[in-house]
Structure 1
Amino acid sequence: MPQFDPTSFPSQLFWLVVTFVILYVLISRFAIPRIGDVMEQRQKMMDDDLDRAAQLKAEAETAVQTYEKALADARAKAHEVMKAATDEMSRKAEERNREVAGRLAQQIADGEARIGKARDEALASVREVATGAAQAIAVKLADVSLADDKVDAAVGAALQESR
């Protein structure tokens, strides 16, 4: 094999060095800069994407904060509306209770007055009935006729003792 012939070693070494030098120059002048440019572009794209992602994240956080603030405001307003409605209902209920209590107090006073009048009428009739009954009993039992003023005085005394 000619590669193993020691007389051809110097020319082989020469062409090996020339080939490596040319290959080195080509790679260092053309391939490495292109690879470097591609890597820089990739890095720049990744950095841009990361910056855009950070910006979108900040916007999303701002949107969430705005949403939470709006939600808290809505809850506070709903609470105020509920409190106002509750206060209004309580006030109306209290007014109705006062009106009903006033009517009931008037009805109670009217009823007590009617009861007092009926009691007085009943007591007056009881006295008349008791006087008449006492005279009738005296006539039936003892066959005695008593004077109206004496029977009336006796019934009055008995009524005074019972009160």
Structure 2
Amino acid sequence: MLVTPVFAQEAPGASHNTDAAVPLAPEGPQHLIEQEVAHEGVFPPFDATTYPSQLLWLAITFTLFYLFLKKVVLPRIGGILEVRRDRIAQDLDQAARLKQEADEAVAAYEQELAEARAKAQKIATETADVVKAEAEAERQKVEGALDAKLSEAEARIATIKATALKDVGTIAEQTAKAIVEELGLTADDKAVAAAVKAAGN
């Protein structure tokens, strides 16, 4: 703020003679109070007499504030924004890389799972074929053994039947001969055999 010098007023009728003793108004607290009373009705920022100094200090303050922003604040803010932008870019790149790796891992897992399923299906088919072939071979073997045993059994049955029939004929001949003899008749062996044979047919 500019301070304007205050000059004391000369008393009326006073002579400009320096030799005469002219009492001046004392410059003290009373003088300052009178000046404050003279300017008491005006708000200092609205005082027209202080406009030039206010404008000068406004320009100086604005220039210093602008230079402070340009040289100190804005470069720091720009550096912070640059660092954050680089960090965000790095995070996005890392996220994209991790996503790609995850997609590749999922694709590899799905491929391995499909291959494992195909291999399991192939093994199951081959195992079923082997088991089926083994079962067929075992069945044929069992059937062959059963056929052999059946043939053997049939042969034995035929032999036993023939033997039994032979024994039955002999027993029948002996029984018929005994019956004839009990009746008091003479039995011819040939005739009895012929009669038993004729009865059997």
TM-score (norm 1): 0.83
Shift in Å at residue 49 of structure 1? Answer: 0.9
Residue 100 (structure 2) aligns with: 58
Shift in Å at residue 128 of structure 1? Answer: 0.9
Higher helix share: 1
Alignment of 1:137-156 (within 5 A): 137-140=179-182, 142-156=183-197
Letter in 2 for 1:33: P
Shift in Å at residue 115 of structure 1? Answer: 0.7
Structure 1: how far apart are the matches of 2:96 and 2:128?
47
Structure 2: how far apart are the matches of 1:62 and 1:109?
69
Computed over aligned residues only, the root mean square deviation of the Cα atoms, in angstroms, reads: 2.3
Shift in Å at residue 9 of structure 1? Answer: 4.3
Shift in Å at residue 87 of structure 1? Answer: 2.0
Deviates more, 1:38-47 or 1:26-35: 26-35
Alignment of 1:27-42 (within 5 A): 27-42=69-84
Shift in Å at residue 147 of structure 1? Answer: 2.2
1:68-87 residue CA offsets vs partner (Å, 9 max, x unmatched): 21222223223322332332
Structure 2: how far apart are the matches of 1:145 and 1:80?
88
Aligned residues: 159
1:100-143 residue CA offsets vs partner (Å, 9 max, x unmatched): 22122111111111110111111111111111112212333x33
Residue 159 (structure 1) aligns with: 200
Deviates more, 1:5-14 or 1:31-40: 5-14
Residue 85 (structure 1) aligns with: 127
Residue 4 (structure 1) aligns with: 43
SS of residue in 2 equivalent to 1:59: helix
Structure 2: how far apart are the matches of 1:106 and 1:86?
30
SS of residue in 2 equivalent to 1:143: coil
- Segments of structure 1 that go 5 or more residues without pairing to the other structure are none
Structure 1: how far apart are the matches of 2:186 and 2:160?
32
Structure 2: how far apart are the matches of 1:4 and 1:25?
31
SS of residue in 1 equivalent to 2:169: helix
Letter in 2 for 1:84: E
The correspondence for 2:138, drawn from 73, 89, 96, is 96
Structure 2: how far apart are the matches of 1:115 and 1:137?
31
Letter in 2 for 1:4: F
TM-score (norm 2): 0.69
Structure 1: how far apart are the matches of 2:147 and 2:136?
16
Could you say which structure has the larger radius of gyration? Answer: 2
Letter in 2 for 1:147: D
Residue 58 (structure 2) aligns with: 16
Letter in 1 for 2:62: F
1:8-41 residue CA offsets vs partner (Å, 9 max, x unmatched): 3442343123212321232134312321231122
- Percent identity, aligned pairs only, is 38
